[in-house]
Amino acid sequence: MLSGRHRAVAEVDLEAVRHNVRRLMRDLPGGAAHCAVVKADGYGHGAVPVARAALEAGSSWLGVATASEAEELRDAGITAPVLIFGPLTGAGLERAARSGAQVVAWSEPFVDEAVRLRVPVHVKVDTGMGRLGVRPSVAPALCARAHDGGVLSGLMSHFATADEPDTGFFERQLECFAGLAAQLKRRYPDLRCHIANSAATLRGPRAHFDMVRTGIAMYGLAPANDDPFKDGIRPAMKVVSYLAGIREALPGDSVGYGRTWIAERATRVGIVPVGYADGMRRALGNRGEVLVAGRRCPIIGRISMDQMTVRLPDDWGAPGDEVVLFGAAGDGVAGGPEAVWTGATGPRSDEPSTPRILCEEVAGMLGTINYEVVCGLTPRVVRRYRGEDPAT
């Protein structure tokens, strides 16, 4: 039962975040840094608490997408280096300068403005992602321009297929970046070179260079949207609600908009006060599952803005029972070592069988990825934190 009867709570286990950071840093070469990516409000987990936990575990950089996200960290008293990944307007660059952040650059005018404002830049080279960045042949000249202006800090790129089984394109990108990094490091020995995301970090040291930038794996979510436990990471988030009521549906009764579920026999129906305005996607109606007091129950009918309905066994479920949308049942953390994978790959024999639903399973039902599931939780879902340092 939820204390205080919040409609929905995202419980974030900060010790899982710390564990994941330590795991991701385990194979880094000496001197390589870990950048904890906390953009998009820490992938829905809360940027400031996650940033603090990551720094406590050994991260030395923080990554965000916008100037306002950098300002949020500074307003919370966080002083670690912050790198803003996304494109910035002139006003955004000025805000970055005031917050003491570093920025990503891929054009001469932007570098010139960064020189004027004295903002350190990381030159971005497009090795195959096909979005932002200069071509490898242009990068040396842009680095020279930034260096002459006294603002050159790093060289970076981004993998397009590091989370896919076919490594051919990954190897092409890695070879391109490695050659360019070696060339420019000879010219600028203090240049910080980085390309690895979560998937590339877990592949091993060849892609680690001077820093890795991990987002999804730091939250205990699998970069390939499969089984996070295989890489030794732990899901950090559990989303829970409760049974607000139970009704009896008689044969022929329908539930929800459009009458998409009709009872074939007398059925106990549980009402859960969570809907798509909380981030519980409408497409899960008549296909998703939740845990009611630790037991899997199917979602029936359409998910509406503020409510959803589930089919309860004849002998299970009472008003006030915990309903887990994803995560582990009961007092288990969001998905720690007591949880078991029950998705497409089948149960893992090396994990005890505490009932739980992984975010990756929900994503699979929706035909999307775990990133979208956690980032889609709205502010109406209350965030609570386990393992928070009382001194912060």
b/e string for 85-112 if b means 16 or more Cβ within 10 A? bebbeeebbebbbebebbbbbbeeebbe
Q: Strands, E, within the chain: which ranges?
A: 9-13, 33-37, 61-64, 82-84, 102-105, 121-124, 152-156, 192-196, 211-214, 237-242, 245-249, 254-255, 261-262, 267-272, 289-292, 295-300, 308-312, 322-328, 356-357, 382-386
Helix/strand/coil for 121: strand
- Quick one: tokens of 155? 């060289």
- What is the separation of C-alpha 119 from the centre of its chain, rounded to a whole number of angstroms? 28
- Quick one: tokens of 303? 């998910």
Q: How far apart are CA 237 and CA 386, in angstroms?
A: 10
Catalytic residue list: 39, 257
Q: How far apart are CA 47 and CA 42, in angstroms?
A: 4
Q: How far apart are CA 173 and CA 168, in angstroms?
A: 9
- What is the separation of C-alpha 195 from the centre of its chain, rounded to a whole number of angstroms? 18
Residue listed under structure tokens 């739980």: 356
- Quick one: tokens of 358? 């992984």
Paired sense of beta strands 289-292 and 295-300, if any = antiparallel
Nearest to 8 by CA among 308, 240, 356: 240
Q: What residues contact 132, with CB distance under 8 A and at least 6 apart?
A: 87, 104, 106, 124, 126
